Amino acid sequence: MRVLLLNPPGRELYVRDYFCSKTTKSNYHFHPVDLLALSGTLSIDHHVAVLDCIAEGLAPEAARARIDTEDPDVVLSLVGSVSWEEDREFLRRQADRGRRVFAIGDVLHEDAEQRLAEEPWLEAILDDFTTRDAIHLLSREYGSLLRATWRCPDGSIVQRNEPRRGREHRLPRPRHELFPTRGYRFSFARQTPFATVLTDYGCPWPCTFCVISTLGHSTRPIEDVLEEVDELRARGTRELFVADQTFGVRRDRALELCAAFRERDLSWTAFTRPDLADDELLCAMRAAGCHTLIMGVESADDAVLDACHKGYATDAVREAFERAHAHGLRTVGTFVVGLPDETEGSLERTLDFALELDLDFMSLNVAVPRFGTPFRADAIADGLIDPEELVMDQSGATIALPTNSLDRKEVARLKRRMIRRFYLRPSWLLRRVRDVSGPREFFAQAREGLALLSRNA
Ligand code: SF4
């Protein structure tokens, strides 16, 4: 069959992947990991094309013309709560042209049967991009499906949600070569071109606000990852964004992967948790070419970390960032602001903590009730959000929730002020200029910085 993997067009620079969707916080746009994984799985038996309308900057009319030229039997599309009204209109028109439409995304991660009942143009919803479910849906072998919701030829709707079994999953090599060569940008890349690589799936920790905590966890065999990386190297790509949400969940595997990366002269960025970032792991990552480490700080308040089930306290955060700096890594701290007990004073303390940690970059995420999370269930139970309201921007550009003492406007104003106070420090600007590796990185970072500040003016 002819299958089109689609990131649909949008009015804004949307980031839709991994059961999350938002407008970009600055100007970044990396390869959607769902489509990367599916490109490998489906290419084994089918003709696969990729159209990323966001990367290519395609308007809906131009996107429709490109799809007509490709003339796929099936469109498998990302969708997002940030763009749900646009996505459903665009995809409905594809179904009107006789194409089967499958979709994956945050807005379909909860109440999938109800969504399918409401959207007659939609044949199936995938709830895991690492399975062979897409292949089984194409051939209507429903008995083999693991985590999907689908409409049978007789119109009935069926859901299957098998628990994830085993610690590993195999994935045929993602077909990076099918993706556009231009239009992807990553704030922390030190070279171009860069590629996005996922060596595991999900995360085993139970942080209440995080959709990744709802996916279970499994890893890819190292030989599969290296086959993908070696193919990228052969095509001239040595810069990687390792999109694992927590690098080093399995210590032995992480060290083995680092040793293999070290032999391949790579340059890369990764996420991990402060309580995993000990000297052994950081030393191995740095030696393997990791230059930038992103870790969750979330809050300066231990009670908030406890309430979110983070599983570590601020002392662990402080020590992990000190170690990362000692190993010569650039650091990015991610924060969640606007949780129910947030006040103007707690936001001040969060900014002070970010400054104390001497971060190279601060990433502020506004608490949003992501589909499928305990945080969303609590917000619905407390009457803070309408469960029928499906449109939501997870970037924090629009604030989804008030706190107990701040309304939405105040949260937005205080968040913008924190960003300006962090990034407009002369000492920080001087450090960035000294840190860049050359004119290309200088201009890329300047573009990202200006985009971030213009969104937070
Ligand atoms: S450790 Fe990070 S990725 Fe894992 S559940 Fe918590 S916030 Fe999500």
Smallest CA separation from ligand 1 atom 5, residue? 213
Of residues 448 and 155, more confidence is placed in 155
How confident is the model at residue 111, as a pLDDT?
A: 95
Residue 438 has pLDDT above 70, yes or no: yes
Contact 205 CB / ligand 1 (< 6 Å):
yes
Q: Is 174 exposed, middle or buried (0-12, 13-18, 19+ CB in 10 A)?
A: buried
Compute, in angstroms, the gap from residue 315 CA to the centroid of ligand 1.
18
pLDDT tens readout for residues 86-103 = 999 999 999 999 999 999
Compute, in angstroms, the gap from residue 213 CA to the centroid of ligand 1.
6
- Ligand 1, atom nearest to 203 Cα: 4
Residue 447 has pLDDT above 70, yes or no: yes
pLDDT tens readout for residues 353-411 = 999 999 999 998 888 888 999 989 988 888 878 888 888 776 666 666 778 888 888 88
How confident is the model at residue 164, as a pLDDT?
A: 85
Contact 199 CB / ligand 1 (< 6 Å):
no
What distance in Å separates the CA atoms of residue 351 and residue 45, rounded to the nearest whole number? 52
Contact 212 CB / ligand 1 (< 6 Å):
yes
pLDDT tens readout for residues 166-203 = 889 999 999 999 999 999 999 899 999 999 999 999 99
When the pLDDT of each residue in the chain is averaged and rounded to a whole number, the result is: 93
Of 244, 249, 273, 293, which is best to mutate to test ligand 1, by the most ligand atoms within 8 angstroms of its C-beta?
A: 273
How confident is the model at residue 155, as a pLDDT?
A: 95
pLDDT tens readout for residues 332-345 = 999 988 888 888 89
pLDDT, mean of residues 280-285:
98
Of 18, 33, 217, 245, which is best to mutate to test ligand 1, by the most ligand atoms within 8 angstroms of its C-beta?
A: 245
How confident is the model at residue 398, as a pLDDT?
A: 65
pLDDT tens readout for residues 283-296 = 999 999 999 999 99
How confident is the model at residue 394, as a pLDDT?
A: 66
Contact 213 CB / ligand 1 (< 6 Å):
yes
How confident is the model at residue 396, as a pLDDT?
A: 63
- Ligand 1, atom nearest to 211 Cα: 8
Contact 21 CB / ligand 1 (< 6 Å):
no
Smallest CA separation from ligand 1 atom 1, residue? 205
pLDDT, mean of residues 231-239:
97
Contact 243 CB / ligand 1 (< 6 Å):
no
Compute, in angstroms, the gap from residue 360 CA to the centroid of ligand 1.
21
Residue 446 has pLDDT above 90, yes or no: no
Contact 203 CB / ligand 1 (< 6 Å):
yes
- Ligand 1, atom nearest to 246 Cα: 3
